[in-house]
Amino acid sequence: MTAAVDDLLLRERRGPVLVATINRPDKGNALSRPVLAALDALVDDLTAAEAAQVPDRARALVLTGAGEKAFSAGADITELDGITGSGAREQMRLGQAIFDRIEQLPLLVVAAVNGVAFGGGLELAMAADMRIAAPGARLAQPEITLGNLPGWGGTQRLPRLIGRGRATELILSGEPVDAGSAAAMGLVNRVAEDCLGEAVRFATGVAARNPAAVRGAKLAIHIGLTAGPAAGLLVEADAVAECCQTPEQRAAVQAFLNRRRSPVPPQA
């Protein structure tokens, strides 16, 4: 990537966690094509480091937006002005593919929703494994107000998160919900004053777990939701078998057994 594109998605290591910040605060952190390219390159780097088992690789990813107003206000509307049908389809498939890659990363992905998450911004947040929102955050799929519908996975991920009825209501009304309402319906996992700090704290805890268990759990959940429970159960069993071959699992089991075998000290 060029330096200019690098500047659109800032990367910062916080221990085992990589924080990636969409850096277009003057544009509501809108997801332009260069931002999408930067997200795609980030996935490339994380995937390559995982495949090579780089010792100091990031074990979790936190996505957030620069400033206090927006996680991401959505797609860059200037890129949609006058777009043709074929051009729109290509743009939608591009975003869908990148968000699918984020969802399928073999490590935890947390969206720290620090402000508005509208349209493509909400679709990006939903591609994460979980969402932690600031109290002032607002979330919406407002594409209907522009004569369109969500095109980067919103019609698929939103119903899975909050159910068909509520998802249909949000998609067809375009109305935003506040952080508290989003938490109540399951759209975000929790609300925290320092959503980024809370996201890093949670991600750090997960990063300390057996990477094979994190990877296997994510894959089993994904396959179960997309291919059905039978396929998910097969993946689950394979993942458990893989974990049983890892030193992390064996050490954890032995530590548990040793605690149980330890004599209870006499009481005074």
Task: Give the catalytic positions in this structure.
Answer: 123, 143
CA-based end-to-end distance of the chain: 67
Q: At what angle do helices 85-103 and 120-127 cross, to 10 degrees?
A: 30
Where do we find the tokens 């320092």?
194
- Give the torsion sign (CA, 14, 18, 24, 26): negative
- Give the torsion sign (CA, 39, 43, 44, 46): positive
Q: Which helix (H) or strand (E) holds 113?
A: strand 108-113
Do 113 and 134 meet the contact criterion of CB atoms below 8 Å apart?
Answer: yes
Q: At what angle do helices 247-261 and 211-227 cross, to 10 degrees?
A: 110
Question: Burial level of 151, CB count in 10 A (0-12/13-18/19+)?
Answer: buried
Do 118 and 74 meet the contact criterion of CB atoms below 8 Å apart?
Answer: yes
In the structure, how many helices (H) and strands (E) does the chain have? 11, 10
Q: Which helix (H) or strand (E) holds 51?
A: helix 33-51
CA 70-34-101 angle, to 5 degrees, is 80
In DSSP terms, 9 is beta-bridged to: 22
Do 9 and 21 meet the contact criterion of CB atoms below 8 Å apart?
Answer: yes
